[in-house]
Amino acid sequence: MDQEFSGVVFEWRGPAPYYFVSVPEQEGLAIRAAASAASYGWGMLPIRARIGSTEWTTSLWPKGGGYLLPLKDAVRKPQGLDAGDAVHVRLTFDALPRQQKRPAAKRVPVPRTAGSREPVTVEQLTIVPANQAAWEDLQAIFGTAGDTARCWCQRFRMLPKESWASEGPEELSARLRDQTACGNQKAQSTSGLVAYLDGEPVGWCAVAPRADHPRLLRDYRVPWLGRNEDKTDPTVWSVTCFVTRAGYRRRGISHALAQATVPFARDHGATAIEGYPDLVDGGSVGTPTTFTNAGYTEASRPTHRRAVMRIDF
């Protein structure tokens, strides 16, 4: 199904800017009516958008009963688009036949090779930018239960007043898919890394410019206590999340991913990279050892259980 419409680019002014075009009500209703025929992982709509000669894959953001089309800088800037500019948009929504629907609750099986406690070395892993991974691989890593399947690595990227409950896993997973550009080899991925062991997807690490995380900049005090930092500096990167697939945990995969964040950020123009480990239990943000083994050093200790680990290039 194709929809064409005209709209005006608008900006949400938070710590980091986001640009959108509202999908008109009539086109939004048609998309919503057709959405029940599609099932893409967590129910995401496989939208392709075109403005001028630029076409890209993305996910519509449901808001207030309608939809917003997010405009990435990689799309917006080459065309010189800014807030207030009128654009003509073409959306292509490829609805799958009903008999091909894949239930969102279907559990991704853990391979028979999982379950070992043998430590994994960096040499045993293949670590690639997220756009070089398949979306199904990220789904396998995040699973269908627990916090990872609720958050989809959006904790620090959500906007004011948003939460896991208000947005839901379908919306949050759609955002991660948009951020990673999984399967788009031509995209410049600046969102994260995916680790493979013997061809199986086993780990994820979120690494991106610090300014791309509205909640990290707005509501989270750890990076800022006792430091004089420019929150909007796009050349400072952050490592905000590690996810290891069930059956592969406690084997050093997060440590290997942490090591890979350093050249990844440096090669994308970062002047510094930092992480915020938990001194008590690590969890999804990692432990201090996760970072020190990758060459990070402690920059500050703002609370009794959090540190800022950093590398300046």
- The DSSP secondary structure of 228-257, one letter per residue, reads ---TT-TTEEEEEEEEE-TTSTTSSHHHHH
Give yes or no for a contact between 205 and 192, defined as CB atoms under 8 angstroms apart.
yes
- The β-bridge partners of 87 are 7
Q: pTM (2 decimals)?
A: 0.67
Residue 37 has pLDDT above 60, yes or no: no
State both tokens at 189.
């991925």
- Residue-wise pLDDT for 247-273, tens only, equals 999 899 999 999 999 999 999 999 999
Query: Do 2-100 and 122-312 fold alike per CATH?
Result: no
Position with higher pLDDT, 29 vs 165: 165
Cβ(310)–Cβ(299) below 8 Å: yes
Which CATH number is correct for 2-100, 2.40.30.100, 2.120.10.30, 3.40.50.300, 2.30.30.100? 2.40.30.100
Place of tokens 């893409």: 40
CATH number of 122-312: 3.40.630.30
Provide the pLDDT confidence category of residue 120 given band limits of 50, 70 and 90: confident
- Which stretch of 46-50, 76-80, 131-135, 309-313 has the lowest confidence by average pLDDT? 46-50
Domain ranges of the chain: 2-100, 122-312
Closest CA to 137 of 175, 111, 98, 156: 111
Q: What's the chain's length in residues?
A: 313
